[in-house]
Structure 1
């Protein structure tokens, strides 16, 4: 691509040494990944400034720089832009020939439920349209190929590359998680979304955005860029989400349980058994490019548990219908969906149950504990991994909501862990983070036992488990390996208690670890 082509498209304030056409072969924002013939984009990050590495990029063969601050000591072409992150997004989209323009893009944002909702949507779209793409926290899927994700929302250059690869693979429909940081850092600028979803909005990532208001403002960027021909699917039971409707030109579709004026309404919700069921009412006809979605009632059954999955499934069904999938395909696909790792995942279901959930923030904890409330059990035990390196505010908010639900569920003791046997420095727990959780729970009349290692916390709880109990493994990074730790202990104790042959041991292991067969998090 020619540098002059870029100059004719992007917003820039000045340029240096750009007197003749210059061809470039690629783009880089990481100096260690620069190849000869690349443009190097200097990004100002939270911890480092890409301008510092400009000379290093030149030494590796960069033919031009995109900068916010002119590097007068470097004698190669430079384009000065007001925002290098946005410039990276624009240049990347141009370089890969604007791939999202030829895709049906579905972007899902919200405080909770993004991962499960995107997987549900992809399950439906895969059944209806076969070759689909998925980008999110867990994996990046391109048709039949999968790679692990590094970020919930990839950096713009990587995102545009993935989308181009999907276009080349004849993918037509792509579902992706869109995080607040991805929106705030311009990673999804110049991505053309056909449908944007706002699952819910509650307090989260305050440490990153500085305030709840800034967090909401970042989220709103997703719907602001929609056109009148697009759809915004919004949670009608969430006041903060409904405000997003005032920020978009798109057609608004609402879903909910409490607001009977929504387009999609769930009633007769049954969470008491091993499946979740409800009646879905489409309250009025909806015109789409594929025809009319008729008003009416539909009985929906899910294999995944939880009130939150009723909400998630309504979104997935709405997306499928808006994109032209027929209802029978949708119902069969949504029933076949068996969940996403660490999202209220039932990892052990025998004489007692173990549920694994990432338990990230007050909203997530709220829906998880509300689902527990509707379950039948003898005793409920919670093992909670303190959120390390997230600050006192995040842990304080989580502790308050745990204390509230502990009283609701008659829980008088919570097992805490700092998971020092698994976390790295970026997720290590500061004494102040641990103290605020312990103090808040104690003030609420809830005793705690704190274990430095995850294994101790898990084993101590399993040693006291009885028939029909429910154990919840709750927490983020430090709790990722908890499922593997728990199942390994159950396997070892079963082998010890029974005289099993090697073949029987292998069969037992396969059976116990079946729920982790496709697991990524915490399996190293």
Structure 2
């Protein structure tokens, strides 16, 4: 858990960094903590009134006051006692003031941000592995957890809210963390959560359809991703050579490169670039290739399979080089990469004569990638169990249905995290993209996994897609314990007990 700063700051020290604001009240007021959730406010807090998707923080100012808030950052005049800092954008103000409050912790560590539709979590883990192997005290912030000094803490968002992020980074500096690798989501970039965070290296993996419920178009989605690179030249130590690392094979590579405010390193397979994978050999048990660069040619062996693994390793290779590691060291260390939970992860299936794999694939492109990889790894029968998340991009649902039926021999359509949507309606959207008769609809995810295991034949491969590492399922406004991996193990035990 993060801890609030114990030394108070004067309010004017925080407002001085804002380009414009109007202060109504005493600027000498002591600020002892920052908060945007009125339920968590402590005595002496600065409360940020943030307009969200479902609630407006301005409506909770009085509750925050009753809990001890002494000042408020707001976009309009409030009917509440206390100092008011009136700004045009309270989210941006929160990010900048949070960085100041925690004494700009990102400037004290090597910061590596990874953005893209697919591969963020895996690439983040790979880079952290390289840095740790090089003797760095490397922290990590991402979808699965936050890690510092080997201690892992669950996270609510891929990229935390700005004041939580700055608090985390401050805590990392206190624990002598010298480098941080973090996932940077398009939502976080668009909503300004990383304003005030000084990235030394920015990594771009790829862009494919997702989050269009929020970004509306692919061009707007690409623009949000590009903000990581356009902002890299805005702050920081001029003595540090910042770099952008871009997948040159991606359709939006030129958009990202065009946005870059720092020198660019490129990686890929099909196009000329700074770090290019050549002589790629993909086998069920691993991948072999050489990385061609200005530094020479470096053989790489991965213990994981799939073309996407090559791209993930290349991204980590280029980022490691940008971080100051030698190509020889990177190539050698990549051969010992850890399995990332829920990313094409093999589930123990003995004594079953078939294989079960769990993967986080929840976009059309990622589902296609893992199905193609699974098909290449198993020449026999391929079954997929998947659904689509509720309250998320609806346009991708029929696309995923079409991809599943075209690549798998059998498809079980089920629930993912339906959230506030009716599960059967989500499934109907998926079915709109399907024409074959090779599917079954089983709304209950546990039952669908059990059925897939029960019907599996010798040498079959079952891919359970969509939730990966997640240990929960969100139905309505309730969160239940649920783990695809554990459910599959239970189903196998029940069949073969």
TM-score after normalising by structure 1: 0.86
Q: Is the 8 A contact 2:423 2:443 kept in 1?
A: no
1:266 aligns with 2:277: yes
Question: How well do the aligned residues superpose, as a CA RMSD in angstroms?
Answer: 1.9
Render the CA deviation track for 1:292-322: whole Å, top value 9, x for unaligned: xx2x111101112211110010111111122
1:270-309 map, 5 Å: 270-282=281-293, 284=294, 294=295, 296-309=296-309
Q: 1:435 aligns with which of 411, 428, 436?
A: 428
2: CA distance, partners of 1:197 / 1:464: 42
Alignment match, 1:312: 312
Q: Is the 8 A contact 1:111 1:363 kept in 2?
A: no
Alignment match, 1:181: 187
Alignment match, 1:521: none
Q: Which moved more, 1:352-361 or 1:174-183?
A: 352-361
Q: Give, in angstroms, the shift of residue 429 of structure 1.
A: 4.2
Q: Is the 8 A contact 2:398 2:431 kept in 1?
A: no
Compared CA separation, residues 353 and 107, structure 1 to 2 (3 A): same
Q: 2:461 aligns with which of 461, 470, 476?
A: 470
Render the CA deviation track for 1:424-472: whole Å, top value 9, x for unaligned: x62654433211212321x2x2432111222221122112222221110
2: CA distance, partners of 1:387 / 1:144: 31
Compared CA separation, residues 429 and 336, structure 1 to 2 (3 A): farther
1: CA distance, partners of 2:224 / 2:181: 20
- Please give the secondary structure, in 2, of the residue aligned with 1:325: coil
- Please give the secondary structure, in 1, of the residue aligned with 2:72: strand
Detail structure 1 runs of 4+ shifted over 6 Å in the superposition.
none
- Please give the secondary structure, in 2, of the residue aligned with 1:336: coil
Q: Give, in angstroms, the shift of residue 214 of structure 1.
A: 2.0
1:31 aligns with 2:33: no
Q: 1:90 aligns with which of 74, 96, 100?
A: 96
Compared CA separation, residues 118 and 223, structure 1 to 2 (3 A): same
Q: Is the 8 A contact 1:236 1:254 kept in 2?
A: yes
Compared CA separation, residues 365 and 89, structure 1 to 2 (3 A): same
Alignment match, 2:6: none
Alignment match, 1:3: 11
Compared CA separation, residues 129 and 446, structure 1 to 2 (3 A): farther
Q: 1:249 aligns with which of 253, 261, 274?
A: 261
- Please give the secondary structure, in 2, of the residue aligned with 1:440: coil
1:12 aligns with 2:3: no
- Please give the secondary structure, in 1, of the residue aligned with 2:226: helix
2: CA distance, partners of 1:395 / 1:439: 8
Alignment match, 2:396: 394
Q: 1:448 aligns with which of 434, 439, 443?
A: 439
1: CA distance, partners of 2:348 / 2:152: 26
Alignment match, 1:461: 452
1:414 aligns with 2:411: yes
Q: Give, in angstroms, the shift of residue 249 of structure 1.
A: 1.9
Unpaired runs of 5+ residues, structure 2, are: 1-8, 475-481
- Please give the secondary structure, in 2, of the residue aligned with 1:372: helix
TM-score after normalising by structure 2: 0.90
Alignment match, 1:343: 343
Select the structure that is richer in helix: 1
Q: Is the 8 A contact 2:414 2:443 kept in 1?
A: yes
Q: Give, in angstroms, the shift of residue 381 of structure 1.
A: 0.9
2: CA distance, partners of 1:327 / 1:119: 18
Alignment match, 2:250: 238
Compared CA separation, residues 233 and 446, structure 1 to 2 (3 A): farther
Compared CA separation, residues 243 and 404, structure 1 to 2 (3 A): farther
Compared CA separation, residues 105 and 427, structure 1 to 2 (3 A): farther
Alignment match, 1:511: none
Q: Is the 8 A contact 1:12 1:79 kept in 2?
A: no
2: CA distance, partners of 1:56 / 1:383: 45
